[in-house]
């Protein structure tokens, strides 16, 4: 492997210095883009990638990596003597998200569509000498995008004669490897495979599996290039799998402050990368003050805010949109739970929004927009939640300060253990500087010694707007829980520990009406109550514990009649009321059912008891009868001895006495049962007993039918 290319100036050599020179049509497009010189990563990569070298390229965000592979792919196709036929593939580019794939597709499209002759604008349609050319049979056909949300593209692929595919791993794998794909798409002539954001592609198991399937399917005789701002060990493994003597191109940035040693950094030099420490309860307050401060002081017009989960994006989008201080802001949400079409529209709405510091635009998003997406003109990136994967940090921050422009990034960190994240990043060559706490006058200050009253005022404002629509309360709880779950997934788990989270504080920042019933919160509350009691005790004994008291926030659930709290959407509210009614009917019914089941159980056990008692009684009775018979026999024998003429034999006398006894026994049995029945309740008991008996009979009958009868006589 070649040695890494060292630190490079912001812009490198001119395009014309590439040898052998680029095709004129490519140079023309670059000229029209206004790019007079190559960036360092481009001058390091393009000449090598055009030749027969595999490249592994690591360069900071916004340094121009996309053109570093787009231009070599196009140049190699242009130079090929035999043109690609329909159905033959020349290049495949894989990217981790559909947004990034679509963006790369647009760059290829921009170059290739320049080859389609435009109709003469001076002539109207009818007077054109020849009909405008169609892209059906161009010199170089247009590329094709293969992602979720794009229609199954075999027909388009064949009709356009595309030979460049750009897509996400799963969709590309099924496009190439399905039976249809195997017969339609010919890969034997494939020249280049590019993995953009290669470390991301290879760190997700699903993506990695699909990437490996695609790599195995493509011919070994090809060029393979890997690109990212952050490379990982996974990349090393893949290099072993599919690259041939790759050249490693690392564009490092070095920073030298006066009197200090030269330091290497993994973020663009034009990026002011900062952290802001506040209480959990003050996070949303600081977010809003950051917007206002950047707008007022620096005329910032475009912001991107990252959250850890889709639910948090969805919730904050709705809440912030309703807050009076942000009424002039244009907010957009973007996350992976949105359908592809909506994601597409959201992104283009944000990018094309004519924002200014008087009407700023804010994109609230998850990591779906962290990598690769080339937002033009972002002034400030704010990370409301630090990313669970620390590698995402520089990618997120890198949505600003692109291609040499200045930009600012701020990560919000809770006071306490989260502050260790600053050193954690410094070790990874991501130095951060401090952004001071913003007070109510938007002045930079120290974090206040007790909770900023602004946080409680904001809580009241958020709660007020939540109370207009129950859906917001649902979304708030969902967002809160999902963010806590995400918190447990931090790779830097020794810094981000759930047990250190101030749940009340976070609930204030979310504006929740009440705390969700999570076991973690219950546990935390118990500990906190112990701590409060301890503080109280110290207070009684020693007096001043102000400092400690200040950190235990006074949380109060909002008083809400949850049965009456309605959804704004009529259909949702009707459904809720119906569900409520059904539930109350069901609970009444289930209470009744439960009583019936209990009663039946009791009767059954009484019946079982009665059965065993009967047996016992029978045995005793037989013993009694035996004794009596013996006594009668003895009496009779004595009588016979006295009066040998007597006509009443012992059997008759026994039968008569038995009959009399049985009658009295039946009466006894009934009385016993009747006595117990008082527990369950009069006639109801009888009907239940009958029901049980008929159930048993029915059960027995069915079993007999099924089994030929006779086998289950002893069932009960
Ligand atoms: N030679 C150049 N001169 C000026 N601007 C350029 C040049 N090459 C690319 N750019 C612009 O720089 C911006 C960033 O480029 P690109 O998206 O390729 O960065 P990247 O390195 O891929 O970033 P990321 O790591 O975030 O994906 C784009 O707007 C692009 O048009």
HEC string for 548-590: HHHHCCCCCCCCCCCCCCCCCCHHHHHHHHHHHHHHHHHHHHH
Tell me, in angstroms, the distance from the centre of ligand 1 to residue 303's CA: 19
Q: Which residue has the tokens 């290669």?
A: 198
Neighbours of 160 (CB within 10 A): 18
**pLDDT band per the 50, 70, 90 thresholds, residue 20:** confident
Ligand 1 pocket check for 398: Cβ under 6 Å: yes
Structure confidence at residue 92 (pLDDT):
98
| Mean pLDDT calculated for residue range 559-577 | 95
CA–CA distance from 234 to each of 231, 240, 388, 396 (Å)?
8, 10, 18, 21
Ligand 1 pocket check for 62: Cβ under 6 Å: yes
Q: What is the pLDDT of residues 367-380, one digit of tens each?
A: 999 999 999 899 99
Q: Whose CA is nearest to atom 23 of ligand 1?
A: 62
Q: How many residues does the chain have?
A: 716
Q: Are 511 and 545 in contact (CB under 8 A)?
A: no
CA–CA distance from 384 to each of 274, 286, 423, 446 (Å)?
13, 10, 19, 19
Tell me, in angstroms, the distance from the centre of ligand 1 to residue 372's CA: 9
Q: How far apart are CA 707 and CA 667, in angstroms?
A: 38
Ligand 1 pocket check for 333: Cβ under 6 Å: no
Q: How far apart are the first and last CA of the chain?
A: 83
| Cβ neighbours of residue 256 closer than 8 Å, sequence gap 6 or more | 262, 263
Q: How far apart are CA 513 and CA 561, in angstroms?
A: 11
**pLDDT band per the 50, 70, 90 thresholds, residue 633:** confident
Tell me, in angstroms, the distance from the centre of ligand 1 to residue 409's CA: 18
Q: For residue 398, which atom of ligand 1 is closest to its CA?
A: 26
Q: Whose CA is nearest to atom 1 of ligand 1?
A: 38
Ligand 1 pocket check for 63: Cβ under 6 Å: yes
Q: How far apart are CA 524 and CA 541, in angstroms?
A: 26
From 173-177, 426-430, 507-511, 704-708, the region with the lowest mean pLDDT:
704-708
Q: Which residue has the tokens 């253990």?
A: 417
Sign of CA dihedral 113, 114, 116, 120: positive
* 100: DSSP letter: H
Percent of the chain with pLDDT over 90: 58
Ligand 1 pocket check for 201: Cβ under 6 Å: no
Ligand 1 pocket check for 35: Cβ under 6 Å: yes
Tell me, in angstroms, the distance from the centre of ligand 1 to residue 618's CA: 99
Structure confidence at residue 715 (pLDDT):
29
From 173-182, 229-238, 262-271, 707-716, the region with the lowest mean pLDDT:
707-716
Ligand 1 pocket check for 67: Cβ under 6 Å: yes
3-class state of residue 468 by DSSP = coil
Tell me, in angstroms, the distance from the centre of ligand 1 to residue 43's CA: 13
Ligand 1 pocket check for 229: Cβ under 6 Å: yes
Q: Whose CA is nearest to atom 10 of ligand 1?
A: 64
Q: How far apart are CA 445 and CA 442, in angstroms?
A: 9
Distance of CA 129 to the CA centre of its chain: 57
Structure confidence at residue 9 (pLDDT):
38
Structure confidence at residue 686 (pLDDT):
65
Structure confidence at residue 675 (pLDDT):
36
| Mean pLDDT calculated for residue range 445-455 | 94
Q: Whose CA is nearest to atom 14 of ligand 1?
A: 62
Ligand 1 pocket check for 107: Cβ under 6 Å: no
Tell me, in angstroms, the distance from the centre of ligand 1 to residue 39's CA: 8
Sign of CA dihedral 185, 186, 190, 195: positive
Beta bridge partners of 437: 445
Mutate which of 27, 66, 394 to test ligand 1's pocket (most atoms within 8 Å of Cβ)? 66
Tell me, in angstroms, the distance from the centre of ligand 1 to residue 353's CA: 21
| Mean pLDDT calculated for residue range 42-65 | 94
Ligand 1 pocket check for 403: Cβ under 6 Å: yes
Sign of CA dihedral 269, 271, 275, 276: positive
| Backbone φ/ψ region at 133: left (φ over 0), alpha (ψ -120 to 50), beta | beta
Q: Whose CA is nearest to atom 25 of ligand 1?
A: 61
Structure confidence at residue 547 (pLDDT):
53
**Who wins on pLDDT, 267 or 400?**
400
Which stretch of DSSP H or E encloses residue 227?
strand 223-228
Q: Are 239 and 226 in contact (CB under 8 A)?
A: yes
Q: Are strands 271-278 and 302-306 parallel, antiparallel or unpaired?
A: unpaired
Mutate which of 71, 302, 402 to test ligand 1's pocket (most atoms within 8 Å of Cβ)? 402
| 265 phi/psi in degrees, rounded to 5 | -140, 150
Neighbours of 518 (CB within 10 A): 15
Q: How far apart are CA 354 and CA 357, in angstroms?
A: 10
**pLDDT band per the 50, 70, 90 thresholds, residue 708:** very low
Q: How far apart are CA 69 and CA 57, in angstroms?
A: 10
Q: Are strands 271-278 and 361-365 parallel, antiparallel or unpaired?
A: unpaired
Q: Whose CA is nearest to atom 4 of ligand 1?
A: 35
Q: How far apart are CA 502 and CA 47, in angstroms?
A: 54
Tell me, in angstroms, the distance from the centre of ligand 1 to residue 99's CA: 16
**Most confidently predicted of 422-436, 523-537, 550-564:** 422-436
> Mean of the per-residue pLDDT values for the chain?
85
Tokens of 342: 């909506």
Ligand 1 pocket check for 38: Cβ under 6 Å: yes
Q: Are 394 and 266 in contact (CB under 8 A)?
A: yes
**pLDDT band per the 50, 70, 90 thresholds, residue 649:** low
Structure confidence at residue 711 (pLDDT):
34
pLDDT at 546 over 50: yes
Structure confidence at residue 657 (pLDDT):
61
CA torsion 96-97-102-103 (nearest 10°) is -80
Ligand 1 pocket check for 61: Cβ under 6 Å: yes
Tell me, in angstroms, the distance from the centre of ligand 1 to residue 458's CA: 39
Ligand 1 pocket check for 230: Cβ under 6 Å: no
Q: How far apart are CA 666 and CA 500, in angstroms?
A: 74
The answer to whether the peptide bond before residue 20 is cis (omega within 30 degrees of 0) is yes
Q: How far apart are CA 393 and CA 505, in angstroms?
A: 24
CA–CA distance from 605 to each of 472, 593, 689 (Å)?
52, 18, 11
**pLDDT band per the 50, 70, 90 thresholds, residue 6:** very low
Structure confidence at residue 121 (pLDDT):
58
CA–CA distance from 670 to each of 71, 141, 580, 620, 684 (Å)?
101, 98, 47, 18, 17
Tell me, in angstroms, the distance from the centre of ligand 1 to residue 64's CA: 3
Neighbours of 606 (CB within 10 A): 19
Q: How far apart are CA 146 and CA 148, in angstroms?
A: 7
From 108-117, 127-136, 195-204, 607-616, the region with the lowest mean pLDDT:
127-136
Ligand 1 pocket check for 12: Cβ under 6 Å: no
Q: Are 232 and 202 in contact (CB under 8 A)?
A: yes
Closest residue by Cα to residue 287 from 411, 404, 395: 411
**Most confidently predicted of 248-257, 481-490, 522-531:** 481-490
**pLDDT band per the 50, 70, 90 thresholds, residue 610:** low
Tell me, in angstroms, the distance from the centre of ligand 1 to residue 100's CA: 13
ipTM beyond cut 0.95: yes
Q: How far apart are CA 435 and CA 277, in angstroms?
A: 8
Structure confidence at residue 543 (pLDDT):
62
Q: How far apart are CA 438 and CA 453, in angstroms?
A: 13
Beta bridge partners of 434: 275
Q: How far apart are CA 225 and CA 41, in angstroms?
A: 13
CA torsion 517-520-523-529 (nearest 10°) is -80
Structure confidence at residue 598 (pLDDT):
85
Q: For residue 61, which atom of ligand 1 is closest to its CA?
A: 25
3-class state of residue 162 by DSSP = coil
pLDDT at 645 over 80: no
Ligand 1 pocket check for 402: Cβ under 6 Å: yes
Structure confidence at residue 574 (pLDDT):
94
Tokens of 650: 């012992």
pLDDT at 4 over 50: no
**pLDDT band per the 50, 70, 90 thresholds, residue 651:** low
**pLDDT band per the 50, 70, 90 thresholds, residue 7:** very low
**pLDDT band per the 50, 70, 90 thresholds, residue 670:** very low
Ligand 1 pocket check for 39: Cβ under 6 Å: yes
Tell me, in angstroms, the distance from the centre of ligand 1 to residue 198's CA: 17
Helix H segments across 54-113?
A: 65-79, 98-113
pLDDT at 1 over 50: no
Tell me, in angstroms, the distance from the centre of ligand 1 to residue 61's CA: 8
Ligand 1 pocket check for 66: Cβ under 6 Å: yes
pLDDT at 663 over 70: no
Q: Which residue has the tokens 């003109």?
A: 377
Tell me, in angstroms, the distance from the centre of ligand 1 to residue 403's CA: 6
Tokens of 153: 């593209």
Q: What is the pLDDT of residues 56-65, one digit of tens each?
A: 999 999 999 9
**pLDDT band per the 50, 70, 90 thresholds, residue 225:** very high
Beta bridge partners of 223: 192
């Amino acid at each position: 492997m070649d040695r890494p290319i060292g630190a490079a100036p912001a812009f490198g050599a001119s395009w014309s210095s590439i040898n052998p020179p680029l095709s004129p049509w490519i140079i023309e497009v670059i000229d029209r883009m206004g790019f007079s010189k190559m960036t360092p990563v481009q001058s390091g990569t393009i000449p090598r990638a055009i030749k027969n070298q595999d490249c592994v390229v690591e360069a900071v965000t916004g340094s121009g990596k996309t053109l570093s592979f787009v231009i070599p792919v196009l140049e190699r196709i242009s130079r090929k003597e035999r043109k690609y036929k329909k159905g033959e593939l020349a290049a495949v580019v894989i990217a981790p998200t559909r947004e990034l794939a679509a963006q790369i597709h647009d760059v290829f499209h921009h170059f290739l569509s320049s080859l389609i002759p435009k109709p003469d604008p001076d002539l109207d349609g009818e007077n054109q000498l020849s009909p405008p050319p169609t892209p059906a049979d161009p010199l170089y056909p247009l590329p094709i995008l293969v992602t979720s949300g794009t229609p199954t593209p075999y027909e388009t692929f064949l009709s356009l004669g595309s030979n460049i595919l750009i897509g996400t791993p799963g969709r590309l794998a099924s496009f190439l490897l399905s039976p249809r794909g195997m017969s339609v798409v010919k890969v034997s002539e494939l020249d280049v495979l590019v993995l953009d954001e290669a470390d991301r592609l290879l760190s997700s198991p699903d993506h990695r599996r699909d990437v490996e399937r695609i790599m195995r399917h493509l011919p070994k005789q090809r060029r393979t290039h890997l690109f990212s701002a952050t490379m990982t060990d996974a990349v090393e493994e893949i290099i072993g799998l599919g690259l041939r003597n790759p050249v490693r191109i690392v564009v490092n940035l070095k920073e030298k402050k006066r009197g200090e040693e030269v330091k290497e950094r993994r973020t663009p030099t034009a990026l002011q990368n900062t952290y802001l420490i506040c209480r959990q309860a003050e996070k949303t307050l600081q977010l809003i003050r950051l917007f206002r401060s950047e707008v007022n002081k620096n005329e910032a017009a475009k912001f991107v805010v990252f959250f850890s989960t889709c639910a948090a994006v969805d919730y904050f989008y709705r809440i912030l949109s309703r807050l009076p201080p942000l009424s002039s802001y244009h907010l957009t949400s973007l996350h992976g739970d949105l359908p592809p079409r909506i994601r597409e529209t959201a992104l283009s709405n944000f990018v094309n929004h004519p924002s200014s510091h008087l009407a700023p635009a804010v994109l609230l998003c998850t990591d779906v927009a962290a990598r690769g997406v080339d937002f033009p003109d972002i002034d400030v990136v704010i990370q409301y939640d630090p990313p669970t994967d620390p590698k995402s940090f520089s990618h997120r921050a890198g949505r600003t300060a692109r291609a040499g422009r200045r930009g600012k990034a701020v990560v919000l960190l809770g006071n306490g253990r989260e502050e260790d994240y600053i050193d954690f990043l410094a070790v990874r060559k991501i130095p951060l500087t401090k952004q001071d706490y913003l007070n109510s006058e938007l002045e930079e200050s120290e974090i206040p010694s007790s909770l900023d009253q602004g946080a409680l005022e904001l809580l009241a404002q958020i709660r007020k707007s939540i109370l207009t629509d129950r859906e917001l309360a649902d979304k708030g709880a969902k967002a809160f829980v999902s963010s806590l779950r995400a918190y447990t997934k931090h790779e830097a788990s020794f810094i981000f520990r759930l047990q250190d989270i101030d749940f009340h504080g976070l609930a204030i920042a979310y504006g929740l009406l009440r705390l969700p019933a999570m076991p973690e919160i219950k546990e935390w509350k118990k500990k906190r109550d112990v701590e409060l009691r301890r503080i109280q005790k110290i207070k009684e004994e020693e007096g001043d514990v102000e400092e400690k008291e200040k950190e235990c926030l006074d949380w109060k659930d909002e008083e809400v009649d949850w049965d009456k709290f309605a959804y704004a959407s009529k259909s949702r509210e009707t459904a809720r009321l119906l569900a409520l009614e059904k539930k109350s009917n069901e609970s009444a019914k289930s209470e009744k059912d439960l009583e019936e089941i209990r009663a039946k159980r009791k009767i059954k056990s009484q019946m079982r008891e009665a059965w065993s008692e009967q047996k016992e009684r029978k045995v005793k009775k037989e013993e009694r009868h035996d004794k009596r018979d013996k006594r009668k026999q003895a009496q009779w024998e004595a009588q016979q001895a006295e009066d040998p003429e007597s006509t009443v034999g012992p059997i008759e006398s026994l039968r008569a006495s038995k009959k009399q006894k049985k009658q009295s026994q039946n009466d006894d049995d009934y009385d016993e049962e009747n006595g117990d029945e008082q527990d369950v309740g009069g006639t109801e008991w009888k009907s239940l007993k009958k029901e049980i008996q008929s159930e048993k009979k029915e059960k027995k009958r069915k079993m007999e039918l099924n089994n030929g009868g006779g086998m289950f006589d002893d069932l009960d």
